[in-house]
Structure 1
Amino acid sequence: MQALDEPRMSDTFAGDAAIVTGASKGIGSGIATKLAEQGASVVVNYRSSEKRAESVVDEIVDRGGEAVAVQADVSDEDDVAAMVEATVDYFGSLDVMVNNAGMTTLGPAEEIDIEDWRRVVDVDLTGVFIGSRAAGRQMLSQDDSGAIVNVASMMGEMGFHMRAPYCAAKAGVINLTRTLAVEWAEDGVSVNALAPGFIQTDITDQTQDSAGYTDIDIHRRTPMARYGTVEEMANCVSFLARDDNYVTGEVLRADGGWVSDAWRYRENRA
């Protein structure tokens, strides 16, 4: 575990401990860094990318934060239980749980292998339930309760070509979030979801290659005419994880207006 040795940028989450799953890259690493900047001690979860996870930890520590990398497969109950236990051992509590880890597979529904379907659902939906349940059990046992933020997707609210398992799983995350929020609200545990649209990450180019779209396609279809950024998604999670906003059971869609605009494709947009 790395120790805090410099002042933090803010104290929004001072004294809190957070887990961010799938935090070795992309949106997850941005969320972990943001929470640390705001005072949280952060568990940077990874499944297989230890080197990348340690790089995120190093970045947090270099900025004056506190973090530790913890390996766990989010679809494995024992792994997740051990990660929550380790968090409490390291930091004394679990106050924020961000279920961000996810995966997808692309292909026509009639051709998707059932094992690919199950793996996406295991990680993207069952993994969110396992993480929420483990975190919820810990938070319900604490005096100060806590906040759970599940990373869903705008694709959980709409059909999307070639992504049947992902869309189905993310739709499940949205209603799971609402259900857990209702169950745990009186006990002081908020449960919310973030539903990103197309976000610029280090795997954007790879996704484009396999799905057959370009930056220009996304810009033309999105009312804000650009990708979202990792920093913007981290800011959204930071808001949802706060304990002073009277928000639970909410799905915050951050998609640049995509879902609100039922159909758009402007040739003159670049």
Structure 2
Amino acid sequence: MSGRFDGETAIVTGSSKGIGKAIATELAREGANVVTNSRSYERAEAAAEEIAETVDGAETLPVECDVTDPDSVSAMVEATVEEFGRLDVMVNNAGMTIIGPAEEMAPEDWRQVIDVDLSGVFFGSQAAGRQMIDQDDGGAIVNVSSMMGSMGLHRRSPYCAAKGGVDNLTRTLAVEWAEHGIHVNALAPGYIRTAITDQTMESADYTQEEVENRTPMGRFGTTEEMANCALFLASRDNFVTGEVLTADGGWTAFAWGSHGP
């Protein structure tokens, strides 16, 4: 097995399913040692085993970690370095959402989304950045944001606020760590078919037809497409840092709003 990430090691948080699992799989396919992560060791292990079975020769390590706990995140980085000797790529993908009117949003729900979706990205970036600075040969950090980081969506106040924070955190870390050769970028997906989107559709918040009508490409994106975008950002053979790559099928570019019936 050979690829663009031969000899490199990557952590992907929230990689037991969805976009994170797809990114972890493609990194392994391109030669990286991959650390899978979940708050549940069993889920992280299942993902690691599936990747190892899918990708011939893949080296994986499952790690249980709560991204809202900086000590837990630091321990994950330490376990990675102990197993593989270094850390080259950090993908901060773990995320969640809670849907509801802003005037009714409970303080604990607000804090939970901010803790996972924003603080978790900072703690992951911080722990990875420290390790990459110590290694003194650069690295790449990819923060999974959302197109909602640059626009408003009703009943998503904590999610939109967190993702907007991720976008500007990404720019700030890119500027701060450029001198260390660390690329820091964000991937901002649109509507992708994952467990979270299925969950919100089940709540009757929106329908598949509404999303397809609102998206110029006329469909949901796939986790494989998001993985391809993430791997571009994770590679360092480019002059890109501090960018937010929006992969939404044209959603944010579409001024009219719907091309469907």
- TM-score range (shorter-chain normalised) is over 0.9
Matched residue type, 2:119 = T
Partner of 1:4: none
SS in structure 2 at match of 1:85: helix
Is residue 33–residue 56 contact of structure 1 (8 Å, CA) maintained in 2? no
* 1:54-82 deviations in Å (ceiling 9; x for gaps): 22211221122111110010010110000
* Pairing 1:60-75 to 2, within 5 Å after superposition: 60-62=51-53, 63-64=55-56, 65-75=58-68
Query: Which letter maps to 2:148?
Result: M
Q: How far apart in 2 are the matches of 1:79 and 1:263? A: 45
What is the SS of the residue equivalent to 1:44?
Answer: strand
Per the alignment, in what secondary structure is the counterpart of residue 110 of structure 1? Answer: helix
1:18 corresponds to 2:10: yes
Q: Structure 2 length as normaliser, TM-score?
A: 0.97
Indicate the residue corresponding to 1:5 in structure 2.
none
Aligned residues of 1:98 and 1:151 also touching (Cα < 8 A): yes
CA 1:81 to 1:214, structure 2 compared with 1: closer, same or farther past 3 Å? same
Cα contact 1:201–1:230 (8 A) shared by 2: yes
- Residues of 2 paired with 1:168 and 1:128: CA distance? 13
Equivalence map 1:49-128=2 (5 Å) = 50-62=41-53, 63-64=55-56, 65-128=58-121
Distance 1:206 1:29 in 2: 18
| Deviations 1:142-186, CA, capped at 9 Å, x for gaps | 132200000000000000011000000000000000000000111
Query: Is contact 1:25-1:53 (8 Å) kept?
Result: no
Q: Tell me, yes or no, if the aligned pair for 1:88 and 1:94 is still in contact at 8 Å.
A: yes
| Alignment partner of 2:232 out of 236, 239, 259 | 239
Match of 1:47 in 2: 39
Structure 1 outlier segments of 4+, above 4 Å: none
- For residues 148-163 of structure 1, the aligned pairs below 5 Å read 148-163=141-156
Structure 1 SS opposite 2:91: strand
Residues 15 and 21 of structure 2 are in contact (CA less than 8 Å); yes or no, is this contact kept in structure 1?
yes
Query: Is 2:136–2:180's contact at 8 Å kept on the other side of the alignment?
Result: no
Query: Equivalent pairs: percent with the same residue?
Result: 65
SS in 2 for 1:13: coil
User: Does residue 195 of structure 2 align to residue 207 of structure 1?
Assistant: no
Query: In angstroms, what is the RMSD of aligned CA positions?
Result: 1.1
Q: How big is the shift at 1:211?
A: 4.7
The TM-score, its normalising length taken from structure 1, stands at 0.93
The more displaced of 12-21 and 202-211 is 202-211
Give me the whole-angstrom Cα distance separating, in 1, the residues matched to 2:196 and 2:110.
Answer: 21
**Contact 1:43 1:68 survives alignment (8 Å):** yes
Q: Per-residue deviation at 1:263?
A: 3.6
Alignment gaps of 5+ in structure 2: none
Note the C-alpha offset of 1:12. 0.5
What is the distance in 2 between the residues matched to 1:263 and 1:124?
30
Q: Secondary structure at the match of 1:252?
A: strand
How far the C-alpha of 1:213 sits from its partner, in A, is 1.3
Relative to structure 1, the CA distance from residue 211 to residue 92 in structure 2 (aligned partners, 3 Å threshold; closer, same or farther) is farther
Deviation at 1:195, TM superposition (A): 0.2
Aligned length: 259
Which position in structure 2 is the counterpart of 1:34? 26
Write the distance in 2 (CA, Å) between the matches of 1:57 and 1:248: 29
